[in-house]
Amino acid sequence: MLKVTDVKKAYGKFTVLEDINLEVADGEFLAIMGPSGSGKSTLINILGLLDQSYTGEYLLEDKNYQNVSDNELSRIRGDQLGFVFQNFKLLTTYNVYENIEIPLIYSKKAQNNKQELIADVIDKVGLTGKEKNRPSELSGGQQQRVAIARAIVNRPKLIIADEPTGALDSKTSKEIMDIFTKLNKAGTTVIMVTHDSEVAEYAMRTVYIRDGHLYNDEKSVKNHD
């Protein structure tokens, strides 16, 4: 799915990421853990084609997008990637159906069965009957379900989730992780940032970021200290 080779990212003299090497296979479920400020969001912004200003190489499905125009990048993000955030990022004046519809409006993929696609993802996340509700009328867990439905409606190959359970209680977190697990079992690659080791257990593999460096297991982080 993707390959990162010797990636380095700096803000002026401040190096945020260094010597980052990471390969994620199709169908993997990867968790990225690390303390606050260690560079996790910076890394997934690169993986999600939201940040092109780094050195080294990042290939998504064998393609390098570093010199691609912003318009083209938005199209690729919309068609190939699904994003889920800690604070849901739903449009408050839109109802559930309309929030989920947004990626389809911007997509160039043929959409003659839009209503069907939306009904299908609403069913997948367990929100049938809530189509007309606004986000403010939903619980945090239900809002995250809407965000997941929005992320998957274009059938992305890769879902990038930044602390998807960070704002949720442990029971609701479990329900949300069950949805990610199902999506992953159905073939979607998932990369998730989390602070919570219980949440990371849903992933097949966990990598750790500490001070801008990536480690494959906790032991090597400790040895580095």
Residue 218 neighbours by CB distance under 10 Å: 13
| Single-letter residue type at 206 | T
Distance (Å, whole) CA 110 – CA 105: 11
Distance (Å, whole) CA 97 – CA 75: 22
> Site residues for ligand ATP, window 42-101 (CB under 6 A)?
42
Count of residues interacting with ligand ATP (CB under 6 A): 11
DSSP E strands: which ranges in 12-104? 14-24, 29-33, 55-60, 63-64, 81-85
Residue from 36, 53, 69, 112 binding ligand ATP (CB under 6 A): 36
CA 219 vs. chain centroid, Å, equals 26
Q: Does 173 bind ligand ATP (CB under 6 A)?
A: no
Binding segment toward ligand ATP, per CB under 6 A, in 39-47, 61-69, 97-105, 106-114: 39-47
Q: Does 144 bind ligand ATP (CB under 6 A)?
A: no
Radius of gyration of the CA atoms of the chain, in A: 18
Residue from 16, 152, 183, 200 binding ligand ATP (CB under 6 A): 16
79 versus 211: smaller Cβ distance to ligand ATP: 211
Q: Does 187 bind ligand ATP (CB under 6 A)?
A: no
Residue from 33, 38, 96, 149 binding ligand ATP (CB under 6 A): 38
Distance (Å, whole) CA 58 – CA 6: 9
47 versus 60: smaller Cβ distance to ligand ATP: 47
Q: Does 37 bind ligand ATP (CB under 6 A)?
A: yes
HSE-CB of 194 using CA atoms within 13 angstroms: 25
96 versus 214: smaller Cβ distance to ligand ATP: 214
Contact of 175 with 144, CB cutoff 8 Å = no
126 versus 166: smaller Cβ distance to ligand ATP: 166
Site for ligand ATP, rule CB under 6 A:
11, 14, 16, 34, 36-42
